Amino acid sequence: MSRGVDFYQDRKGSCPVEDFLDSLPDRHLGKVVQVIQILEERGPNLPFPYSSQVEGKLRELRAHYGKVQYRILYYGDVRGVFILLHAFRKQTEQIPESDKRIALQRLRDDEQRKKEGAS
């Protein structure tokens, strides 16, 4: 069962994950897009090593090209769509707290705006 994947868009209309992806070399981009497509196809049952739990609703999508590791932090929203919140090149063992904070802030913002739109 396929689920949708969408990019978080801030209040100014920017899509940070899309901007990050646009900055990648073509070969790296191809690998990351491939993992996003797997998420769309497999949905919430996407297993490790492609996806893993981070904190609460927040999950990480895991992609790599050679030794370069990429992470996209995402969550499943109330519509059942995966929202890609934040992307970065992973250079440490753990996800940096600053990257988690960015993703969690965007998650809260996304949920709040959807709640406001439903009212």
Question: What letters, b where the CB count within 10 A reaches 16 and e where it falls short, cover 92-119?
Answer: eeebeeebbebbbebbeebeeeeeeeee
Contact 62, 46 (CB under 8 A): no
Rg, C-alpha atoms of the chain: 14
pTM for the full predicted model: 0.92
Q: What is residue 29's predicted lDDT score, i.e. its pLDDT?
A: 96
DSSP-assigned beta bridge partners for residue 88: 71
Q: What is the pLDDT of residue 86?
A: 98
Across the strands, what pairs with 70? 63, 89
pLDDT along the chain (119 residues), means of 10: 84 95 96 95 87 94 94 92 96 93 97 80
φ, ψ dihedrals at 92, nearest 5°: -130, 170
